[in-house]
Structure formats: C-alpha cells, structure tokens
C-alpha cells in the first residue's frame, strides 16, 4: 500500500553569510523534490553547491559589503522570486566569519536550524535553542549540521547555544522559520541517502511519522532494491525515523520498504523510485587507497635499470620504455 499526501506549498528562506571568506547566501526550501533552477544577483548568475537536497549555498555575491542587494531564485516550474538582502562583510578572520545559525524548513521536521562553523576540526556535541535540546544531524561537509526540535512559534526569537567536542562553545541569535501549515505525517519520506566510511556500502533514512516507532518497539521490516537488501534500525532520538545501510548497488532499482508492528494484521509498504538517482549522486566517502609505487620506477634508462637485475627489468614498449620490478 502506498500512502498519499496532500499537495504541499513550497517554502523558501534566503540568508546571507560568509563561506570560506566569500559572501554567499544559504537558500533553504521545501518540500523535498523541489529543484532550484538558478540564483542570480544584479543579473549575475551565482554558483550553487548542494549541502542537502533542500539546502544550497550560492555565491559569491557581487557588490561591496554592507550595501543593499537582492537575490532572485527560480525553481523549476514556478515563478521566480526576488529576496532583499545585505551583502555581508567577510573580510574578518575565517574562524569568525563562518559561525552561522540559519533558520529554514525541512519536509518532515518542520522548522530546523542550520549550524555552520569553521574550521571544522572538532565535531558538534550539543546544541540548544532557548534552553531546549536540539537533535542535530551532520552533513557530508564537516562543520555543517541540521538541527530539529526547534521550540516556539513562527517568528519567535531564539538564542542558539552549541558546543564542540574540544570544549569551544558559541551563542548565536536566530528565529523560528515559518513553515506554513503543511505536514507530511501521512506519507513516508526517503529523506537522505549517504555514503559510509566503507567504500562498498551506502546508507539512507526514512521518516514514517509513526509515533510508536522508537527504540525498544517490536516490529519486522524489509528493505530491498533490485540487487540486495539492507539492515535497518530505529533512529535513537527521532520517533518514526529508521536508518538503513547495506552493500552499495551497482545498478539500483526502486527501493521497496515494508514495516509491520508486532500484532498488526499486515505490513505497510512504500516504493521509492527516486532511490536510484540519489545513489548515483552520492560519491563514496571512503578514503582512496594510495597507489603502490614500484621501487624500480626510480630508474629512467635501461642501463641503470638492468644494473639492478634480477630485481628490475626494462620494458622497451611502448617507447621510450620504463623500468619495473621483475615478477
């Protein structure tokens, strides 16, 4: 059975900040599946980097720091919108310019906060908003986190305090995003596909909106595509969210996920046909092994190479030849 959800209006936030010493904007939007076609400022195209499927960093912004400016965003199939901003001053130390807290919206989580800091030598270990603990999820880029569980109503002022593993702490002012009245509790959503530190594996998360799906719940599941199956477990802090990982498919097909609470008459299933595309766009995050260096390659002519026989020998073709170890 595939669950249906009502049409959800798009929400967008455009916030200027400094990224690697350059003035840029963070463009956050929902629902999942919305495609940012272009971002421009004063008619000049901005380069955009995707942090998540619903978060883009676009820049650099033209113009001098402090001047009134604007950014125009165009989403596929929709009318373009222009957002007034002020170009940030990014001339200060890199460490200071890259501590930002940006409010935005996420499909299944509602209002969220994007925490960004650099240098990113130490991971984030805690974050609160007006004293309320936030649940934070790291992105593939170090020093970038999305935090949910934001307290308050749309527009409310927030004081966001967060600390790193090395003991460094920050406090930033922010606010609660207005994410409209749309809710996705009636539909299961594939919210993330990511690499693992094992080159041959891939992982993903699914939000089900099921309040009973918490650590300790009794259930059975299956998660399969055209090539294999995945092992899944309940997310430790977000009710209704499940995390899965398994062998990375070479030619993935539709991801089919089924879940049955113990005692239920039948499982509930969802098919995710967007899964193959997300897998294709997710690079491996495993460290590339270093290519072994042939010790005989230090010899650049046949005379020197052959003096080291039998350990080395000269290969004459293709010209001009090279020295390699004798098998």
Domain region containing 44: 10-91
DSSP result, 100-156: EEEEEEETTTEEEEEEE-SS--S-EEEEEETTEE-EEEE-SSTTEEEEE---S-TT-
Q: Are residues 178 and 119 in the same domain?
A: yes
Question: Residue 325 in contact with residue 311, Cβ under 8 Å?
Answer: yes
pLDDT one-digit tens code per residue, 76-113: 888 899 898 888 888 765 444 467 787 877 655 668 88
Establish if 1 belongs to a structural domain. Answer: no
User: What percentage of the chain's residues is helix, strand, coil (to nearest 5)?
Assistant: 5, 45, 50
Establish if 129 belongs to a structural domain. Answer: yes
pLDDT one-digit tens code per residue, 194-241: 777 677 888 888 888 888 888 888 898 889 888 888 999 998 877 888
CATH code at position 139:
2.60.40.1590
Sign of CA dihedral 175, 138, 124, 242: positive
Q: Are residues 251 and 198 in the same domain?
A: yes
Establish if 253 belongs to a structural domain. Answer: yes
Establish if 135 belongs to a structural domain. Answer: yes
Establish if 21 belongs to a structural domain. Answer: yes
Establish if 104 belongs to a structural domain. Answer: yes
Q: Are residues 206 and 239 in the same domain?
A: yes
Strand pairing category for 189-195 and 231-234? unpaired
Number of domains present in the structure of the chain: 4
pLDDT one-digit tens code per residue, 132-185: 888 888 765 678 888 888 888 777 889 999 999 988 899 888 888 776 533 333
Q: Are residues 175 and 199 in the same domain?
A: no
CATH code at position 53:
2.60.40
Q: Are residues 276 and 196 in the same domain?
A: yes
Q: Are residues 40 and 56 in the same domain?
A: yes
Write down the pLDDT at residue 47. 87
Establish if 290 belongs to a structural domain. Answer: no
On the question of a cis peptide bond just before residue 318, with omega within 30 degrees of 0, the verdict is yes
Establish if 287 belongs to a structural domain. Answer: no
With a CB cutoff of 8 Å and minimum separation 6, the contacts of 167 are none
């Amino acid at each position: 059975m595939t669950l249906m959800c009502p049409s959800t209006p798009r929400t967008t936030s455009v916030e200027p900040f400094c990224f690697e010493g350059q003035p840029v904007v963070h463009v956050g939007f929902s629902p999942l599946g919305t495609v940012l076609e272009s971002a421009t400022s004063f008619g000049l195209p901005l380069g955009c980097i995707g942090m998540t499927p619903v978060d883009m960093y676009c820049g650099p912004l033209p113009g001098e720091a402090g001047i009134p400016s604007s950014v125009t965003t165009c989403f596929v199939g929709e009318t373009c919108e222009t957002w007034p901003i002020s170009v940030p001053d990014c001339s200060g130390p890199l460490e200071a310019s890259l501590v930002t807290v940006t409010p935005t919206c996420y499909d299944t989580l509602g209002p969220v906060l994007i925490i960004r800091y650099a240098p990113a030598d130490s991971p984030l270990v805690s974050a609160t908003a007006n004293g309320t603990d936030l649940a934070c999820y790291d992105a593939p880029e170090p020093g970038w986190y999305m935090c949910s569980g934001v307290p308050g109503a749309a527009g409310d002022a927030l004081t966001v305090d967060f600390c790193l593993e090395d003991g460094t702490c920050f406090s930033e002012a922010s606010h609660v995003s207005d994410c409209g009245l749309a809710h996705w509790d009636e539909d299961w959503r594939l919210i993330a596909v990511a690499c693992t530190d094992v080159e041959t594996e891939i992982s993903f998360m699914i939000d089900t909106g099921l309040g009973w799906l918490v650590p300790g719940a009794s259930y059975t599941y299956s998660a399969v595509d055209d090539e294999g199956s995945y092992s899944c477990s309940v997310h430790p802090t977000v009710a209704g969210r499940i995390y899965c990982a398994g062998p990375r498919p070479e030619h993935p097909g539709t991801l089919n996920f089924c879940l049955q609470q113990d005692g239920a008459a039948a499982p509930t299933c969802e098919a995710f046909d967007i899964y193959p595309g997300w897998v294709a766009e997710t690079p491996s995050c495993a460290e590339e092994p270093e290519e072994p260096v042939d010790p005989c390659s230090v010899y650049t002519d046949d005379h020197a190479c052959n003096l080291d026989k039998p350990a080395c020998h000269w290969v004459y073709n293709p010209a001009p030849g090279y020295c390699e170890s004798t098998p």
